């Protein structure tokens, strides 16, 4: 099996070699994706029941005891992005917290999403006060983060909600400081975590303080 190619933006972005780097995920970190997707599937006569840390397995037809077929869920997922999901709310405190970090650090957004969603994702970021460079990838995030971190002589922090992505970064770029954050309060009790390896802060004020402290920034 061949490795997924690195997104070309990894090499094209302007990253200052003498500034710390903060790499941040979008869904359930910067944005309340599950709530936006929930509203979308509701428009299709379906409902979301948050009883596990999953996406498609939480979608049900009203009255059913078995979740929606995963293939059907994936089609809805694709349709959600095709419909320009601007209704997704930004996570509380995310814009203000990243703005403070960006005073001293380079901020890059790294999200796994369909390639065709780039214009909508970029517009959503700008509209919500998050005007940072966007990298859209697929698969484990370790190698893209390693490539980005290699472009600065300063420390790098990475934030994601998914344990597999955090583990991937630990494997490919062990020197990167990893943080877990889960924006939707309903998902937090179900999210697999390993706080001894990836410190977890589910609110942006606490997360930004931890990042600033770890990267030794003054903007706290």
Write down the pLDDT at residue 78. 87
Q: pLDDT, tens digit, for every residue of 102-111?
A: 999 999 999 9
Number of domains within the chain = 2
In whole angstroms, give the CA distance from residue 205 to residue 220: 9
Instruction: Please check whether residues 116 and 211 belong to one and the same domain.
Output: yes
Instruction: Please check whether residues 132 and 158 belong to one and the same domain.
Output: yes
Write down the pLDDT at residue 115. 87
Write down the pLDDT at residue 104. 97
Instruction: Please check whether residues 182 and 119 belong to one and the same domain.
Output: yes
Instruction: Please check whether residues 26 and 44 belong to one and the same domain.
Output: no
Domain that holds residue 73: 34-82
In whole angstroms, give the CA distance from residue 175 to residue 119: 32
Write down the pLDDT at residue 80. 86
Instruction: Please check whether residues 71 and 110 belong to one and the same domain.
Output: no
The CATH number given to whatever domain includes residue 203 is 3.40.50.1000
Report yes or no on 195 lying in a domain. Answer: yes
Residues of the chain under the 70 pLDDT cut: 1-2, 84-85, 219-220
Instruction: Please check whether residues 125 and 204 belong to one and the same domain.
Output: yes
Evaluate whether 168 touches 150 at the Cβ level (below 8 Å): no
């Amino acid at each position: 099996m061949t490795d997924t190619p690195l997104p070309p933006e990894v090499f094209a972005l302007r990253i200052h070699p003498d500034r710390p780097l903060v790499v941040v995920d979008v869904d359930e970190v910067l944005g309340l994706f599950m709530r936006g997707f929930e509203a979308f599937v509701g428009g299709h006569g379906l409902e979301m029941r948050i009883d596990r840390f999953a996406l498609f397995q939480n979608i049900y037809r009203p009255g059913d005891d078995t979740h929606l077929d995963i293939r059907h869920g994936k089609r809805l997922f694709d349709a959600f992005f095709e419909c320009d999901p601007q209704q997704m709310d930004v996570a509380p405190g995310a814009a203000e917290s990243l703005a403070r970090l960006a005073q001293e650090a380079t901020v890059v957004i790294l999200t796994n999403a369909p390639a065709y969603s780039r214009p909508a994702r970029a517009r959503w970021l700008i509209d919500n006060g998050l005007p940072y460079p966007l990298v859209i990838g697929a698969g484990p995030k370790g190698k893209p983060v390693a490539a980005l971190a290699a472009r600065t002589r300063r420390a790098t922090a990475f934030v994601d909600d998914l344990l597999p992505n955090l583990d991937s970064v630990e494997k490919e770029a062990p020197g990167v400081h990893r943080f877990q954050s889960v924006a939707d309060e309903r998902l937090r009790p179900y999210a697999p975590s390993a706080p001894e390896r990836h410190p977890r802060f589910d609110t942006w004020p606490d997360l930004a303080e931890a990042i600033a402290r770890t990267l030794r920034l003054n903007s706290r």
